[in-house]
Chain A
Amino acid sequence: MTGFGETLGQALWLILSGDADLWAIILLSLRVSLTALAIATLIGLPLGAALAVGRFPGRRTVITIVSAMMGLPPVVVGLAVYLMLSASGPFGIFDLLYTPAAMIIAQVVLVTPIVAALSRQVIADLHTDLAEQLDSFGLRPLARIPTLLWEGRTSLMTVVLAGFGRAIAEVGAVIIVGGNINHVTRVMTTAIALETSKGNLTLALALGTVLITMAIAINALVGVLGARARSGVPAHA
């Protein structure tokens, strides 16, 4: 086994050399995971908010289920999505298996419960803090959601980043539904799995370093945007 110095050197060289295949893999990883994250956020945030402020029968049960689904094993999700999208499955006619769309679907299933469960907690706490003010406006519970989402935006951004972490790091689901097809569905994690299975451990670790670097860059970018939003610079103007 080679040293970490060599691994780091190779990772740096991979990034700087502008290897076309590597960049295609990085871009596909981002495309798939950010799209899955966007969809999961559009579903998960309203769901989490509704569970936080809504009062309806079975609410506790739904919260428990959503929280438990944060721990869904990717390989099980991958298998379930594979059986759905397979040519012999109920959605086989859409011809989505072994495409990036299939990978996005699997990651949406994995990420939505994380965004919903964590945002529910954030919004529930905020709702308690702001209860008096919101009561004074006389808003119905569901009408309070936009205000709560806006007031909690900084914490919710962390929630969304947690979802991104799950999406970009998982391999079990995307390797089953994507098939790790070169130039079509190969992403960072499946490329790492492939190089590991070829025994190219240094290259695999170097790719892992590139993946972590990518995640740090995304988190830093969100951090800067968040700081601008807090300091009153109208980032949303």
Chain B
Amino acid sequence: MRMIFLFLAGWLAAMAPALAGERHILLQSTTSTQNSGLLDAILPAFEAATGIEVRVVAVGTGQAIRNAERGDGDVLLVHARAAEEAFVAAGWGVARHDVMFNDFVLVGPQDDPAGIAGGADAVAALAAIAAADAPFASRGDRSGTHLAELALWADTGVDVAAASGGWYRETGSGMGATLNTGVGLDAYVLTDRATWAAFGNKGGHTILVEGDPRLHNPYGVILVNPARHPHVDAEAGQAFIDWLTGPEGQAAIADFRVDGAQVFFPSAGPS
């Protein structure tokens, strides 16, 4: 027994925080940038060039923005333009910079009960799903993808809130969990192309609708405002933003492939 206590005491001593060490920033980002493998692919180059480690917390855009508002992050990399601009306008962020874009796609079961396959009109496809009472799995979590989905539903005039629990299923979960649910339920799902390309449990689901300009999915990067949160490492955070929107970061994004396909397209303008 005494030996056990000695062991535990020694263990606690060994746990003494090893916090000091290399410089790091905290990046609040979205699941699509992590689950697709993009950040794992491009961050090592930045870390090697600057010695700044980037620690990624990948959650939905809504949660990432709220975490950043609380000061729990140095940089925000998300995809919900209106929410990002509101974040900056409210003084939580310094400025929003374009980084890259990809697009949303509508995936669904091969038997396609709503008959939307091959279409390029996302709003018409959603209206057809609603008309057929075909199951649709929604994120339901105020993420960037969820906000984009709700904007499309608004264009259809369908009241999805009234259908919730019926053919419209709100998972309240991340993209991956929602895709797993959608595959299990034979439901249609709106997802971003990068997450879908890297997703390992596609089942019989395929991309049914793509190419609608309304499915454009831009990503922005924002430095959390050090005037609001003095502990923000503005210098390191800005260095990351400059790298990401500069030639090296943009080239790294363009070079990233999932199964041979490009899934993110650099879009930073001249600064």
Please give the residue numbers on chain A whose beta carbons come within 8 Å of chain B beta carbons, in ascending order.
Answer: 31, 34-35, 38-39, 41, 86-89, 92, 95, 97-99, 101, 104, 150, 153, 179-182, 184, 194, 196-201, 203, 225, 229, 235-236
When distances are taken between beta carbons in the complex, the residues of chain B under 8 Å from A198 are 35, 176, 198-200
Do B198 and A98 touch across chains, with their CB atoms under 8 A apart?
A: no
Find out whether the CB atom of A153 lies under 8 angstroms from the CB atom of B1: yes
Q: Which residues of A lie under 8 Å from residue B8 when comparing CB positions?
A: 38, 41
- Report chain A residues within 8 Å CB of B48: none
Q: Mark B224-242, 1 if CB is under 8 A from A, else 0.
A: 0000010100000000000
Tally B residues with Cβ within 8 Å of A.
Answer: 36
From the candidates A95, A184, A196, name the one contacting B231 in the complex (CB within 8 A). A95
Max chain A Cβ within 10 angstroms of own Cβ: one of B26, B56, B57: B57
Across the interface, A236 reaches (CB within 8 A) one of B2, B19, B57, namely B2
B residues in contact with A98, CB < 8 Å? 26, 55, 57, 72
Stretch of B10-18, B115-123, B148-156 with 4 or more beta carbons under 8 angstroms from chain A: B10-18
Could you tell me if B57 and A199 are in contact, using CB atoms closer than 8 angstroms? no
Q: Which residues of B contact A (CB under 8 A)?
A: 1-4, 8, 11-12, 15, 17, 19, 26, 31, 34-35, 40, 55-58, 67, 70-72, 174-177, 179-180, 198-202, 229, 231
Q: Is the CB of A196 within 8 A of B177?
A: yes
Give the CA-CA distance A197 to B195 in the complex, in Å: 10
Known pairs A38-B11, A181-B56, A182-B56; A87 contacts B199 (CB<8 A): no
Q: Bound state CA distance, A104 and B17, in angstroms?
A: 12
> Smallest Cβ distance from B203 to chain A, in angstroms?
9
Instruction: Choose one: A95, A99, A150, A200; the contact of B200 (CB below 8 Å).
Output: A200
The 4 A-B residue pairs with the shortest CB-CB distance, nearest first, are A197-B176, A87-B71, A199-B201, A199-B200
Question: Which A residues are in CB contact (< 8 Å) with B198?
Answer: 198
| B260 CB → nearest A CB, Å | 18
B72 cross-chain contacts in A, Cβ below 8 A: 86-88, 97-98
Contact B3 A235 (CB under 8 A): yes
A-B contact count (CB 8 A): 85
Q: How far is the CB of B35 from chain A (nearest CB, A)?
A: 5
- Please, how many angstroms separate the alpha-carbon atoms of A41 and B9 in the complex? 12
B58 CB contacts on chain A under 8 angstroms:
180
Q: Which residues of A contact B19 (CB under 8 A)?
A: 95, 99
Q: In the assembled complex, which residues on chain B have CB atoms less than 8 Å from the CB atom of A41?
A: 8
B202 to chain A: which residues have CB within 8 Å?
A: 199
Task: Return the contact of B199 from the options A88, A104, A194, A199 (Cβ within 8 A).
Answer: A199
Distance to closest chain B CB from A39 (angstroms)? 8
Report yes or no: B174 in contact with A197, Cβ–Cβ below 8 A: yes
Question: Which of B2, B175, B200, B231 lies at the interface centre, i.e. has the most chain A CB atoms within 10 A of its CB?
Answer: B200
Contact of A86 among B11, B70, B180 (CB under 8 A): B70
Q: Is the CB of B177 within 8 A of A38?
A: no
Q: Which residue of B lies closest to A100 (CB)?
A: B15
- Residues from chain B with a CB closer than 8 A to the CB of A184 are 55
Q: A235-B3, A236-B3 are in contact. Are A180 and B57 (CB under 8 A)?
A: yes
Nearest opposing residue in chain A for B68, CB measure: A87
> Could you tell me if A87 and B55 are in contact, using CB atoms closer than 8 angstroms?
no
Contact residues in A for B1 (Cβ distance below 8 Å): 150, 153, 229, 235-236
A236 cross-chain contacts in B, Cβ below 8 A: 1-4
- Decide: B17 and A101 in contact? CB cutoff 8 A: yes
A-B contact pairs, 8 of them (CB 8 A): A31-B15, A35-B11, A86-B67, A95-B231, A199-B180, A199-B200, A199-B202, A236-B1
- Tell me, in angstroms, the Cα distance from A181 to B3 when the chains sit together: 34
* Bound CA span A225–B15, Å: 24
Least Cβ–Cβ distance between A180 and chain B, in angstroms: 7
Give A38's nearest chain B residue, CB to CB. Answer: B8
B42: shortest Cβ distance to chain A, in Å?
A: 14
Q: How far is the CB of B228 from chain A (nearest CB, A)?
A: 10
Q: How far is the CA of A157 from the CA of B200 in the complex (A)?
A: 41
Contact status B11-A34, CB under 8 Å? yes
- Identify the closest chain B residue to A87 (Cβ): B71
Chain A residue contacts of B201, Cβ below 8 A: 199-201
Chain A residues in 8 Å Cβ range of B179: 199
How many angstroms from the CA of A199 to the CA of B180 in the assembled complex? Answer: 7
From residue A156, how far is it (CB to closest CB) to chain B in Å?
10
Q: A87-B70, A87-B229, A236-B2 are in contact. Are A196 and B55 (CB under 8 A)?
A: no
Contacts of A104 in B (CB 8 A): 15
Asked if A196 contacts B11 (CB within 8 A), the reply is no
Closest A residue to B201 using CB positions: A199
Which residues from chain A contact B15 at a C-beta distance below 8 Å? 31, 35, 104
| Cβ contact within 8 Å between A201 and B71 | no
Minimum CB–CB distance for A19 against chain B, Å: 15
